[in-house]
A and B are shown apart, each in its own frame.
Chain A
Amino acid sequence: MITFEGVSKRFPDGTVALDDVSLECATGEITVFVGTSGGGKTTALRTVNRMVEPTSGRVLIDGADVRDRPPAELRRGIGYVIQQAGLFPHRTIADNIATVPYLLGEGKKRARARARELMERVGLDPALAGRYPAQLSGGQQQRVGVARALAADPPIMLMDEPFSAVDPVVRGELQAEFLRLQAELHKTIVFVTHDIDEAIKMGDRIAVFRTGGKLVQFDTPKNLLAAPADDFVADFIGYDRGIRRLSFVPAAELELDDRAVLPENASVAEARATGADWVLLTDSGRRPLGWVAVSGLATDRSLQHMPRAPLGHTFNVRADSARAALDAAVLSPSGLAVGVDDDGVVVGVASPLDLTNAIGRESAR
């Protein structure tokens, strides 16, 4: 656990970078520091490994003041990842990753073997071990940065905008892979970003900083979206926070309707009997085939021969969130989202109104 106790930092020119910040970063969790530039989030991160010394207040790691340990020794026990990776251009990928083990006096052979192991872990081909950083893409360099921070297996990692310098597609991959890695490693992580989407995606808890180094709100992503502490936080989160909150409503909580779901050999009369505007046709295994508009049906033949609108995409009722369901509804020709189970069997459909009701219930809790 990392504890900030009334930490303030005033630079010699009078700028206040941190103003009486107190918070706790729980062990094994990702705590995200987010905020506008000049909000002090990077300064706060750097007080943990003494790259910045607070003017007042204390930073504790598992109850021990960080100032009780010499900076170099303290830092070797804390992983650090920065925006442009900060790789050493004159060292090979393997030697970059082995930097801290070398500093701790580990032998070359063992450190390099471990480096290769870590490369696989972060999704890098170990064949790149002998290359130099300039020969790698931005995304690959960032992976090396993460592997280097993990090399000495530190319990704590500080990550300062680690994925900001790569393009959005690569960023998404890196974020998802890092979350998978964290699920295995359970590091105590402080993660700085200026991107609220990234904060919500990565954070177990989010600390919002505003200009002048004030901590405005410290909460879970869900609560932050549901109840921003003030106008600054609400503005920072953005106008679409309502839709973002859907990410925290599991699709399993939606009430799905299966009355308009019919086998493809059903008759037009049966379709009319549902009273719905659209019916979803399924195959014999109850897997979805496509939509048929009931109002356009003139003859009384089997639905099998009627013109069909494409299915669009479905959502998984067990694994997806209500946000995926809403997305499916918006893109569906019928305006209804199709929920399926892990085998692709239709559970039922939901309208945007059903989704809205689900948020209503969520907020009422």
Chain B
Amino acid sequence: MIAAPADDEPLIRWDWLARNADDIGGMLADHVYLSVVPVVIGLVIALPVGLACARWRWIYPPVLAVTSLLYALPAIALFVVLIAFTGLSHTTVMIPLALYTLSVLVPGVVDGLRAVPDHVRQAAVAMGFGPLRRLVQVELPIAVPVVMAGLRVATVSNISLVSVGALIGIGGLGELFTDGFNRDFPTPIIAGVVLTILLAVAADGLLILVQRLLTPWSRQ
């Protein structure tokens, strides 16, 4: 239970924010790093796994079961287990986030590839595309909108989850929450919440922009 701040304590102390701007900027950069790198790693792993699942359909149900199970694991439990192996490092926070990304993106890649209409695939075969060329030039580009939808979910949820890492001392903006709670001081908490939301909105907007550039054809 958080004690109510003293009556004369304002909700936000702007002078505190100004004095600590450099530290907060550092935490923000850390937060971006901690949330974006796992998304990239997750995507790099999810692509071949998703392709394999689309190619050999029988492996998809077991793979889906494993990724769903990973998604259900509480982040804090994973951190505690991983500390034994990777210590109090960035890696400890990024591994669970990469796993969450993976569990969102593998179904995304599979659904994206399944969304390629059969007549389009047939036409590609009939015009003389080999399997690899068909995948790279026809199937993957058509799967992009569905994969991008997964990427947006993974990115935003990572940005929110990074803060949990503050419980083991590595949490980007999350450290503002622990600091605020420990000192019964609302300013860093509010700053942390506002910056996390702004970061999530900015990242999502950026991904929407990237998708528009990648798939001009999907706008009618």
Note all chain A residues with C-beta closer than 8 A to B126.
Answer: 49, 51, 75, 78, 80, 82, 86, 158
A90 with B217, Cβ < 8 A, contacts A72-B129, A75-B128 known: yes
Question: For this complex, into which size category does the number of interface residues on chain A fall?
Answer: 20 to 34
A82 with B122, Cβ < 8 A, contacts A88-B138, A89-B217, A135-B220 known: yes
**Distance between Cα atoms of A78 and B126 in the complex (Å):** 8
Tell me if B169 is interfacial: C-beta within 8 Å of chain A: no
**Distance (whole angstroms) from the CB of A83 to the closest CB of chain B:** 7
Q: Are B125 and A51 in contact (CB under 8 A)?
A: yes
Partner of A75, one of B125, B217, B218: B125
**Distance between Cα atoms of A80 and B127 in the complex (Å):** 7
Q: Are B123 and A86 in contact (CB under 8 A)?
A: yes
Q: Are A76 and B127 in contact (CB under 8 A)?
A: yes
**Distance (whole angstroms) from the CB of A160 to the closest CB of chain B:** 9
**Distance between Cα atoms of A215 and B49 in the complex (Å):** 46
Task: Give the most central of B128, B129, B133, B141: most A CB within 10 Å.
Answer: B128
**Distance (whole angstroms) from the CB of B134 to the closest CB of chain A:** 10
Q: A94-112: contact bitstring with B at CB < 8 Å (1 yes, 0 no)?
A: 0000011001000000000
Q: Are A82 and B129 in contact (CB under 8 A)?
A: no
Tell me if A259 is interfacial: C-beta within 8 Å of chain B: no
Tell me if A84 is interfacial: C-beta within 8 Å of chain B: yes
Q: List 19 A-B contacts (CB under 8 A).
A: A51-B126, A72-B130, A74-B128, A78-B126, A80-B123, A80-B127, A82-B122, A82-B126, A86-B117, A86-B120, A86-B122, A86-B123, A88-B123, A88-B138, A89-B142, A89-B217, A90-B144, A103-B128, A135-B220
Note all chain A residues with C-beta closer than 8 A to B117.
Answer: 84, 86
Q: Are B217 and A103 in contact (CB under 8 A)?
A: no
Note all chain B residues with C-beta closer than 8 A to A80.
Answer: 123, 126-127
**Distance (whole angstroms) from the CB of A50 to the closest CB of chain B:** 10
Residues 111-154 of B at the A interface (beta carbon under 8 Å): 117, 119-120, 122-130, 133, 138, 141-142, 144
11 extra A-B contacts, CB within 8 A, seeds A72-B129, A84-B117: A76-B127, A84-B119, A86-B117, A86-B126, A88-B120, A88-B123, A88-B138, A103-B133, A132-B217, A135-B220, A158-B126
Tell me if B20 is interfacial: C-beta within 8 Å of chain A: no
**Distance (whole angstroms) from the CB of B211 to the closest CB of chain A:** 12
Q: Are A73 and B141 in contact (CB under 8 A)?
A: no
Note all chain B residues with C-beta closer than 8 A to A90.
Answer: 138, 141-142, 144, 215, 217-218
Note all chain A residues with C-beta closer than 8 A to B218.
Answer: 89-90
Partner of B123, one of A72, A76, A87, A135: A87
Note all chain B residues with C-beta closer than 8 A to A76.
Answer: 127-128
Note all chain B residues with C-beta closer than 8 A to A91.
Answer: 217
Closest to A131 in B: B217
A75 with B127, Cβ < 8 A, contacts A90-B217, A134-B217, A134-B220 known: yes
**Distance (whole angstroms) from the CB of A60 to the closest CB of chain B:** 19
**Distance between Cα atoms of A74 and B126 in the complex (Å):** 9
**Distance between Cα atoms of A82 and B124 in the complex (Å):** 11
Listed from nearest, the 4 A-B pairs whose CB atoms lie closest are A86-B123, A76-B128, A75-B128, A80-B126
Task: Give the most central of A74, A92, A103: most B CB within 10 Å.
Answer: A103
A83 with B119, Cβ < 8 A, contacts A49-B126, A51-B125, A100-B127 known: yes
**Distance between Cα atoms of A348 and B129 in the complex (Å):** 60
Closest to B140 in A: A90
Note all chain A residues with C-beta closer than 8 A to B125.
Answer: 51, 75
**Distance between Cα atoms of A92 and B216 in the complex (Å):** 10
**Distance between Cα atoms of A82 and B121 in the complex (Å):** 11
Closest to A74 in B: B128
**Distance (whole angstroms) from the CB of B145 to the closest CB of chain A:** 10
**Distance (whole angstroms) from the CB of B140 to the closest CB of chain A:** 10
**Distance between Cα atoms of A90 and B130 in the complex (Å):** 18
Residues 204-220 of B at the A interface (beta carbon under 8 Å): 215-218, 220
Note all chain A residues with C-beta closer than 8 A to B138.
Answer: 88, 90
Note all chain A residues with C-beta closer than 8 A to B123.
Answer: 80, 82, 85-88
**Distance between Cα atoms of A78 and B144 in the complex (Å):** 30
Note all chain B residues with C-beta closer than 8 A to A89.
Answer: 120, 142, 217-218
